[in-house]
Amino acid sequence: MTITDPLDLLDFDSLLSDEERQIRETVARFVSEHVRPHVADWFEAGTFPRELAPELGKLGVLGMHLEGYGCAGTSAVAYGLACLELEAGDSGLRSFVSVQGSLAMFSIWKYGSEEQKQEWLPRMAAGEAIGCFGLTEPDFGSDPANMRTRAVRDGNDWILNGSKMWITNGSIADVATVWARTEEGVRGFLIPKDTPGFTTRTIKRKLSLRASITGELSLDDVRLPASAQLPGAQGLGAPLSCLSEARFGIVFGSTGAALDSLRTAIDYANARVQFGRPIAAFQLTQQKLADMAVDLNTAALLALHLGRLKDAGGVKPHQISVGKLNNVRRALAIARECRTILGGSGITLEYSPLRHANNLESVLTYEGTSEIHTLVIGQALTGHAAYR
């Protein structure tokens, strides 16, 4: 009996270079050895092992698409493939890597001073320091332009007040990139964890992204020197450009969650015998598997196309929105359908699809809700910004 892996259906790997395939295989092996044996326990306990950060640094995936400062400087496609394999392990793992590299590190790399880059980027690339990205607020998620966090000048210093919510890595981060409104517009600031007036709280009782640390940041008269400001970041476009970097990783990452779910369902369907034969031999099961495989491969090809555009320097924000909207929707539908093939066994942490589905409920919402990405695409098609 010949079984084709879901992502081999259209010979996806033939579209990759030898280096890209090697990076994908290396990350997949790391996930198999260091993540899969433990991720169900992390999910059940609601924790992320901080000690995994240096291992991810040794793997080379933290800020891997950035140049210099200890970063690998890989292509966008290579970074995307790493995200695919990381999220095949768990969305929380990919979220950690994505926030570290595409939000916290990218904000410093693109908008920071040389002193800030030298201070933080090598340690963050090695996993010795953890970063987070504070943009979302309790009352302003999709509308960051109206954030309430303020920064006012006091001599040569800045005084910050406000709060940020739903911040991945928030309560374990060594440094936070925090965005605040000033008289000059939105500006970014680097806040080390031990700064007076800066406190964090871990958000508990989550039903999704449980193998990930989510926090709230509170700023109460936080005094920062002028050197804490990101000098190159002026206006809301700066944090939004960081989000575009992270959303690109989601386009690939969500595909990984779908791939792992489908592989799990196929293995189970071949092993589970009912009415004298494996349920994989029944037409209804095969229809589910075939439909999901088509959706998976469509999503993977879209991700690869956007990666090639990004490496050529031509990917546009609305194109990233197409990828995020489509691929997360498809991945969530695949994970849910795979759970049905597993029957009662599918509600346990012995199998991955329902864990992936729960995680993808968060991925569907964060870094731009489906509604916002729909309107971004609508604006590209019509010229009208319906959310303004």
Burial class (CB in 10 A: 0-12, 13-18, 19+), 34: middle
Cα separations in angstroms, 384 against 145, 240, 387: 18, 19, 9
CB 65 within 8 A of CB 74: yes
d(CA 140, CA 142): 6
SS3 104: helix
Spatial separation of the C-alpha atoms in residues 173 and 39, rounded to whole Å: 21
Give the count of beta carbons closer than 10 Å to the beta carbon of residue 237: 11
Pairing of strands 150-154, 198-202: unpaired
Residues in the chain: 388
How many other C-beta atoms lie within 10 A of the C-beta of residue 301?
14
Could you tell me if 319 and 306 are in contact, meaning their C-beta atoms sit under 8 angstroms apart? yes
Question: What tokens does 149 get?
Answer: 């966090």
Active-site residue 367, yes or no?
A: yes
Between β-strands 273-274 and 157-168, what pairing exists: parallel, antiparallel or unpaired?
unpaired
Tokens coding 102:
């595409």
* Closest to 208 in 3D by CA, of 359, 94, 351, 95: 359
Beta-strand pair 277-278/273-274: antiparallel
**What is the rounded distance in angstroms from the CA atom of residue 327 to the CA atom of residue 254?**
6
Beta pairing partners, 153: 158
Identified catalytic residue from 85, 119, 337, 367: 367
Q: Is the Cβ–Cβ distance between 360 and 335 less than 8 Å?
A: yes
CB 197 within 8 A of CB 242: no
Task: Retrieve residue 63's tokens.
Answer: 């800020």
Indicate which residues carry an active-site annotation: 367
